[in-house]
Amino acid sequence: MRSVRAKDSRMGSVINAALSRRVAVLAALASIYAFALPAATAAQSLRIVALGDSLTAGYGLGDRDAFPVKLEAALKAKGHDVEVINAGVSGDTSTGGLARLDWSVPDKTDAVILELGANDALRAVDPAITRKALDDALGKLKSRKIEVLLAGMQAPPNFGGDYAARFNPIYPDLARKYDVVFYPFFLDGIATVTKLNQRDGIHPTAEGIDFIVARILPKVEELIARVREKRK
């Protein structure tokens, strides 16, 4: 009897020791995953800054209807883990946007949607000034290794062909120079469409913003793809 009980005791000790080792291993793995999973999630998240003027800021609209807010929602609906920050300032020119770029685009920004120049055109600013400001802005972002989507603008037709011939090529020229994602005209499809613009005929309605988001979305996804590729 004593022999059987001794054998049972030894067997129990072996089993308990094995169980203890297994619990220790599981605890260690749980600890690893507890730290690893949030890090992996954070690594997948993207921060996009929309740097622009009133078209970005959401002039005349509720907070929920501004372009960056609706763009973020559309991207999340497609499964992208992103944060789109509204760095739009109503009335800003390309020179104004350049002046505040360093603090408007914080550290750890992955990408920028650069939407500036509409006010330059409306005020008939010398296109050479607009070109230099946007060139300098893109140069700064490039030096910080931030991916960019450049949203183009077009001169109002009433300013005449000469002005348009100097202003309109700024965007495609700079897009080629810096090899950035390019959306030729931010107001494509809604400019001059009464029902998609507010009473001033310049700023989009909430429906107009929906239209812009739907059209620019593939280019923003191209921007995101560039960021993901760079992270590999």
Active site residue ranges: 54, 200, 203
Paired residues of 83 in beta bridges: 47
Helix (H/G/I), strand (E/B), else coil: 107? coil
Question: How far is 109 from 130, CA to CA, in rounded Å?
Answer: 24
Across 83-115, b (16+ Cβ under 10 Å) vs e yields ebbbbbbeebbbbbbbeebeebbeeebbbbbbb
Question: Are the C-beta atoms of residues 183 and 216 closer than 8 Å to each other?
Answer: yes
> What contacts 172, CB < 8 A, 6 or more positions away?
152, 182, 184
Question: How far is 99 from 112, CA to CA, in rounded Å?
Answer: 16
Question: Are the C-beta atoms of residues 141 and 148 closer than 8 Å to each other?
Answer: yes
* Residue whose structure tokens are 């469409």: 193
Instruction: Give the H/E segment covering residue 37.
Output: helix 2-44
* Complete edge-to-edge strand list for the sheet that includes strand 181-183: 82-88, 46-52, 111-115, 147-151, 181-183
